[in-house]
Amino acid sequence: MVRKNAVKAALVSAAAVALTMIPLSGTSYAAGCSGSGCDNKGPVTYGCDGDVTTMRSVNNNSRVAELRWSADCTAGWVRVTNNANPSQYASYATIEKYDASGNLLKSLRVDTPPYGQSDWSNMLGGSQYYYRICVRFDADLYPLKCSTKW
């Protein structure tokens, strides 16, 4: 009887510990970086891809670039989607970070993925800066298209 009670107590303790390890519905986790501390870090890796807003969008010959912004991380990145038929021409998207005087501080680039797919750059962060995205489809045939700064 004593052994049976000890086994029951051990099982109850193990169950209680296991239940504390299960996240509750709606639980959010703290972002792994904030502001300029997110510069050149991946939005998914650092938990910044949850509650995201598209602030700007640019289309260049069916290559669509979006400025994605995470308020939790105070950082943004460019997501590029290739909605065009396969092409031999190279294309890419950039996110640019500017100071209040309009000086370009940093720029990150991501190549356009294969047809029907999306990819994204690493982040640039900080609420005191301005951001712009651009998308290029074959430098010789189509001009660079950029968003307004945000």
pLDDT digits (tens, 9 = 90+) for 17-50: 443 433 433 344 578 999 999 999 999 999 999 9
Q: CA-to-CA distance for 83 and 64, rounded, in angstroms?
A: 7
Share above pLDDT 90 across residues of the chain, in percent, rounded to a whole number? 62
Q: Can you list the domains of the chain with their CATH numbers?
A: 32-146 (2.60.40)
Assess contact for 64 and 110: CB atoms under 8 A: no
Assess contact for 59 and 126: CB atoms under 8 A: no
Between 28 and 65, where is the model more confident? 65
pLDDT digits (tens, 9 = 90+) for 53-63: 999 999 988 89
DSSP class of residue 121 equals -
Between 91 and 99, where is the model more confident? 99
Threshold 0.85, pTM exceeds = no
DSSP alpha helix (H) spans, the chain: 2-20
